[in-house]
Amino acid sequence: MHSEIDDIPNHLIQCGEGGLAPWSVVCRHLLNGTARKWVPVPAEPGRETEHDWLCPACYRRHYLGGSTVDEVVCDLAAVCVHCVNELRAEQAVSAIRVPRSRRR
């Protein structure tokens, strides 16, 4: 049985916004905005992206020990590079525009 998914190269992801694109792995804290610091992690060889992205807490947990395989899978998502760049830009802009007196 053949499907359209079989035709997508493994280094691309189907994005609802931008179509087929390279992808990065991003932790859920960066995606939902509960973390703002993006820690670059080298992507696997053969991918078109240079980095995957974790927040500092996920970096410590995933790379310095203390997490199970289930936690790793639940905390990470594959996101197209266009969406990653847009999210990083939006978070950087919002962090610049919010006066310190209003930050929590």
Can you give the pLDDT at residue 4?
47
So what's the pLDDT on residue 68?
57
> What proportion of the chain, given as a percentage, has pLDDT over 70?
70
Residue closest to 29 by CA, chosen among 64, 53, 60, 62:
53
For residue 79, which of 9, 22, 32, 35 has the smallest C-alpha distance?
A: 22
pLDDT for 104: 43
Q: Domain residues for 70?
A: 25-77
Type of residue at 3: S
Residue 13 lies in a domain: no
SS3 55: coil
- Point out the residues of the chain with pLDDT beneath 50: 1-6, 98-104
Do residues 59 and 39 touch, judged by C-beta distance below 8 A?
Answer: yes
Q: Which amino acid is at 11?
A: H
Domain presence at residue 4: no
Residue 103's pLDDT is 40
- The answer to whether residue 99 sits within a structural domain is no
Total domains present in the chain: 1
Give me the half-sphere count of Cα atoms (radius 13 Å) on the Cβ side of residue 89.
6
Residues of the chain above pLDDT 90, percent: 26
